[in-house]
Amino acid sequence: MNKQTAQLMEKHFNTAFAAPDGIKKLRELILTLAMQGKLVPQDPQDQPASELLKEIEEEKKRLVKEGKIKAGSREDAKNAKEIGLGEAPCELPDGWEWVRFGSIAQHNSGKTLDKGRNTGQLCDYITTSNLYWGYFKLNSVRQMPIRDDELEKCTARKGDLLICEGGEAGRAAVWFYDKEICFQNHIHRARFYGDIDPHYAYHFFEKLNATGEICQHRQGVGISNMSGKALASIIFPLPPLAEQRRIVAKIELLMARCDELEKLRAEREQKRLTVHTAALNRLLMATENNDLSTVWRFVTQYFGELYSVKENVAELRKAILQLAVMGKQVPQDPKDQPTSQLLIEIETEKKRLVKEGKIKAPKPLPEIKPGEVPYELPEAWEWVRLGALAMSVDYGTSIKTGDDATKVPVYRMGNIVDGQLVNSGFKYIDHVIDDLPRLFLLENDILFNRTNSYELVGKTAIYLGQDDIATFASYLIRIRLIEKQLLPRYINLTMNAPYFRKTQIEPEIIQQCGQANFNGTKLSATLIPLPPISEQHRIVAKIDQLMNLCDELDKHIDASTQKQTALLNAVMAQV
């Protein structure tokens, strides 16, 4: 590595620390330089790779003569053919050679597990589930019967390179244990001829993976595989043995430095998250306006540092919602009509709608006991059960859907993302079914995800589209509110606040067959902190303002990330 490259590498470490995926890119660069002969200096006194290849050919002839390996078949000869013009990925230093992998290693896959047919002595064996990049997990090693005449072919010894044939095809590690181990048929064993450092070969496969070149040697969609033929045909950069060892030592040194950078970055991010969490907790615990002002001054003072990562912005969004539903986001106005009067009007309106036959008479809801309330509310506010605010709480349609976009779009679980409805990925149902028009959505209907994985049950969003053009699936619950006395957007924001999930949803979730469930009866009984209607409007306006600020923070982080990545790419391109 010349002086200029060394200086650029040093610059990379500083730049990589700042860029989000910089350390990953730095690892890729280290491996790429290594396989191009640019990571360590060449030594003219090293025995050239051409001599190493001659020794390998002599060894192969000897092994054939001794009956330890078979003479190459036509297919083997084809796979190990010389590299043609234009095939070599780059120019190599003097003393290096491009070779086919199949010409420098004896390789084969292992033993197929067949409980009905396998015979012989029980032996420990590993599968692709034990083989990771650069290491093995041996806490779940199994056994299978293997005959004596099969052992040599499916046994790995110290120094063999093991490569996944299936799964993440190409994933590799050097077997560095003194104890031998058997391996199954989805693993290739590469045992090198002559003096080839298996750790250098491992880093070569690591480089193919880092750059994505490994995909050129894989077959299959989803679960890929790498056949013996594909493995044998891979073009491999072969340096002198002494340089192989210098390269391995340098890679390990630089990768250790990358590990340190990752550790430092993780510690920095954790510290930033801890400080931010503590500040937000103080905000949420503050009881007086001057307490709130003190904490906000701290957040403002360290704004640039705290909000340079999206995780903190996400936490800020949660805190904004939580402060709002605690009555700490906007000031109270003693002139506002108290919520107690608002609840009387809501009850009167519901009775009128029942009398006119527009809604069904609601089931009685349990009285709210003092021990149930999650926290104390401002004076004019009231805790109220969600069902008391709703005209109806309905499950969606279970009619089978299709892909005909001329029909009625159906909102499903996946359409609720971060408190909003995503208008894409629809399925459709016929216009003329028993569930319609009853289950058509109206503007300001709230949709609640009642069935999903544990962490996704409770996702909530408000429908702001046109009336009577869309419906919703049975895994969702629709809450239709008494809009004359309520602001549905406030209720939706409340149901997305942290308290709602922590105190109203999680304690009542039922886990069944890998799915979590929450029913309409429980949803109707959940507690909502209800302010006067005028304050509901002020809260929603304030939240909109603060969420727009969060959107700008996310955009700033994206722009900064792109700038850092572009800088790293520009520096890397100079090597």
Mean pLDDT, residues 544-570 = 76
Alpha helices in 194-240 (DSSP H): 198-211, 228-233
Contact 535, 483 (CB under 8 A): no
CATH node for 339-531: 3.90.220.20
Q: What's the rounded Cα separation, in Å, for the pair 285 and 185?
A: 60
Mean pLDDT, residues 156-167 = 93
Mean pLDDT, residues 538-560 = 85
Q: Which residue has better confidence, 19 or 473?
A: 473
In the predicted structure, residue 119 carries a pLDDT above the cut 60: yes
In terms of average pLDDT, the best of 173-177, 283-287, 326-330 is 173-177
Q: Is the pTM of the predicted complex or chain greater than 0.75?
A: no
In the predicted structure, residue 75 carries a pLDDT above the cut 50: no
Tell me the CATH class for 47-239.
alpha beta
**23 band by pLDDT with thresholds 50, 70 and 90:** confident
In the predicted structure, residue 568 carries a pLDDT above the cut 90: no
**87 band by pLDDT with thresholds 50, 70 and 90:** confident
Q: Do domains 47-239 and 339-531 have the same CATH topology?
A: yes
Per DSSP, the residues of 5-49 read HHHHHHHHHHHHHHSTTHHHHHHHHHHHHHHTT-SS---TTSPPH
In the predicted structure, residue 77 carries a pLDDT above the cut 60: no
β-pairing, 420-421 with 416-417?
antiparallel
β-pairing, 97-100 with 235-238?
antiparallel
Percent of the chain scored above 70 by pLDDT? 86
Mean pLDDT, residues 467-494 = 95
> Six-digit token pair at 150?
């099969």
pLDDT value at residue 74: 43
pLDDT value at residue 295: 47
In the predicted structure, residue 73 carries a pLDDT above the cut 50: no
pLDDT value at residue 9: 58
The whole-angstrom distance between residue 253's C-alpha and the CA centroid of its chain comes to 29
Secondary structure in 3-state letters for 68-132: CCCCCCHHHHHHCCCCCCCCCCCCCCCCCEEEEHHHCEEEEECECCCCCCCCCEEEEEECHHHEE
Identity of residue 145:
P
Q: What is the mean pLDDT of the chain?
A: 87
As a whole number of Å, the CA-based R_g of the chain is 33
Cβ atoms within 10 A of the Cβ of 74, count? 7
Contact 431, 409 (CB under 8 A): no
Mean pLDDT, residues 195-207 = 95
Q: Which residue has better confidence, 550 or 371?
A: 371
Q: What's the rounded Cα separation, in Å, for the pair 101 and 93?
A: 19
Tens-place pLDDT, residues 348-367: 999 999 999 999 998 899 99
Instruction: Return the domain boundaries, the chain.
Output: 47-239, 262-327+552-573, 339-531
Mean pLDDT, residues 497-504 = 94
pLDDT value at residue 294: 54
Tens-place pLDDT, residues 422-442: 999 999 999 999 999 999 999
Among the residue ranges 195-204, 219-228, 297-306, 390-399, the one predicted with the least confidence is 297-306
Q: Would you call the peptide bond into 437 cis, given omega within 30 degrees of 0 as the criterion? A: yes
Q: Which residue has better confidence, 231 or 293?
A: 231
**220 band by pLDDT with thresholds 50, 70 and 90:** confident
pLDDT value at residue 287: 54
Who contacts 196 (Cβ-Cβ below 8 Å, separation ≥6)?
A: 52, 104, 105, 238, 241, 244
In the predicted structure, residue 329 carries a pLDDT above the cut 90: no
In the predicted structure, residue 142 carries a pLDDT above the cut 60: yes
pLDDT value at residue 63: 86
Mean pLDDT, residues 554-569 = 71
pLDDT value at residue 281: 67
In the predicted structure, residue 299 carries a pLDDT above the cut 60: no
In the predicted structure, residue 4 carries a pLDDT above the cut 60: no
Q: What's the rounded Cα separation, in Å, for the pair 46 and 36?
A: 17
β-strand partners of 98 = 237
**501 band by pLDDT with thresholds 50, 70 and 90:** very high
In the predicted structure, residue 280 carries a pLDDT above the cut 80: no
Secondary structure in 3-state letters for 465-501: CCCCCCEEECCEEEEEECCCCCCHHHHHHHHCCHHHH
pLDDT value at residue 167: 80
